[in-house]
Structure 1
């Protein structure tokens, strides 16, 4: 008796066909496509709403006033916040991973958004590099500001070493504040590293870079709403990667504002934080309201909207 015939007569050999496999794969792929279509619809709705909010004249013209009010009156919240909160710990994860690399995160997300937006409009590498140069100029300004503030703090401050009660002849129970030994040859970094006291004028660099990055993100992202309006007559929609990066930039803006509020509420330092906020505002004002308005004819990268609003309409009826 043939073994193959015997197995077939007993029904042990399964009947495999390409049509059946194709139907099974289609049944598995169909729910996945439905989920992706739903997520894409939600992404379009959320990004369209956020683009309209950030592109409104109220946000573009008055966001710096909102940020200024937050810096001025944020320290008042220190009377109501709890010192036992997790955000009152300076070693919190948000402070260690985001606050110390604020410009790095802003540079990555803003640069990705600028490149995707410029390529989706004009497909021009030179235009993308010209708009991306705004991020480079901003990074150069921040690096120069850091070095200048460090030099000013080292010149205006003094390092002190606390004396133990036995060194100045006082008893351990004396209520008088122990004297301090002066160290003239120390800068701020080496003084704090040696666990000594540094006293002098300082500017909060954390508040400065947070305020500057918030203003930069709003300035760069407000163009997305205008881009959506220009694409409506063409019946085109921005790609999913551009929408995802735009959403990530909005989330990053919310994180920076939350960290700024935490610094002002849990670690108030007047007036160094207010000076930092003022310098951040002046930096944004000098670049986006001054230098970038000169245009490309002066060798400047121009404003975020420059060169991105020229759209060629096709199939247009006279």
Structure 2
């Protein structure tokens, strides 16, 4: 009984915060500020910290498969919420298709970024004993005709025009989770029934959002690469704006899944329909 009460209190507080209009309107601005000023944290953090190692458990377990974790928890929450309200598989699939579209966009951008780095870069072979070895920088000799994969497999160094895929993924996942979970607060305020599994999934999504923000701060503080990370974050924010602030505003159709929560909270009475219209209006502002 105590655990259930604690779950209700925590999820209500988190839903109220994520569903707040101020949070929805300014979260992307806060994320942009983190990208701009986050590398300054490198002056205060210790390079002997466990988070200064790329082999840390959080990096290996979550960062390398960030999109998979986001799809599992966000997809489960979206499906359970939509199906428990309408009992319509087609409607649930329509709302889930937002994750599929974002996943396809992320995959396509990753392929384009790899192609960009592969075509604009060059392979260098580090030679020990060069003139810069006293400064800790070995001399690099250009090796022409090598691709990035072959270069890295041979233990050489690849230098090219790079955009941080990790920061791109984290920013996109943060904005996606904020959008998909924001509907839970208005849903509860309209008297929606929510059992323990739905609340637990929502809480997992909130914890995952907090983890992505923490990992983003760790990357900016311990592995600062200002131009590449800023470009990756900008690409993630632009992807979110193009989807959730652009395409999805057109309304549900065969070529558009619609906004989160659209078509879920209206009931047979007109007052509830008016509240749903207000919810959709507030959600897109």
TM-score normalised by length of structure 1: 0.81
CA distance in structure 2 between the partners assigned to 1:97 and 1:173 by the alignment: 35
Match of 2:219 among 235, 259, 263: 263
Gaps of 5+ in 2: 273-285
Of structures 1 and 2, the larger Rg is shown by: 1
Deviation of 1:180 (Å): 3.1
Matched, 1:152 2:123: no
State whether residues 51 and 222 of structure 2, in contact with CA within 8 Å, keep that contact through their aligned partners in structure 1. Answer: yes
Match of 1:204 among 161, 164, 172: 164
Q: Residue by residue, what CA displacement relative to the aligned partner does 1:77-96 show, whole Å, maximum 9, x if unpaired?
A: 00110010000111000000
* 1:31-180 mapped onto 2 (5 Å cutoff): 37-165=1-129, 179-180=139-140
Greater shift in the superposed pair: 142-151 or 179-188: 179-188
Deviation of 1:205 (Å): 0.3
Q: How many pairs are equivalent?
A: 270
Match of 1:228 among 179, 188, 204: 188
Deviation of 1:65 (Å): 0.6
1:190 corresponds to: 150
CA distance in structure 2 between the partners assigned to 1:119 and 1:276 by the alignment: 35
Q: Residue by residue, what CA displacement relative to the aligned partner does 1:64-112 show, whole Å, maximum 9, x if unpaired?
A: 0111111110000001100100001110000000000000000000100
For residue 244 of structure 1, give the secondary structure of its aligned residue in structure 2.
helix
Residues 58 and 239 of structure 1: CA distance in aligned 2, closer, same or farther (over 3 Å): same
Residues 245 and 180 of structure 1: CA distance in aligned 2, closer, same or farther (over 3 Å): same
CA distance in structure 1 between the partners assigned to 2:249 and 2:143 by the alignment: 48
Deviation of 1:298 (Å): 5.5
TM-score normalised by length of structure 2: 0.90
Deviation of 1:295 (Å): 1.6
State whether residues 133 and 139 of structure 2, in contact with CA within 8 Å, keep that contact through their aligned partners in structure 1. Answer: no
1:289 corresponds to: 245
Gaps of 5+ in 1: 1-36
RMSD between aligned residues: 2.1
For residue 271 of structure 1, give the secondary structure of its aligned residue in structure 2.
helix
Residues 203 and 128 of structure 1: CA distance in aligned 2, closer, same or farther (over 3 Å): same
CA distance in structure 1 between the partners assigned to 2:195 and 2:112 by the alignment: 42
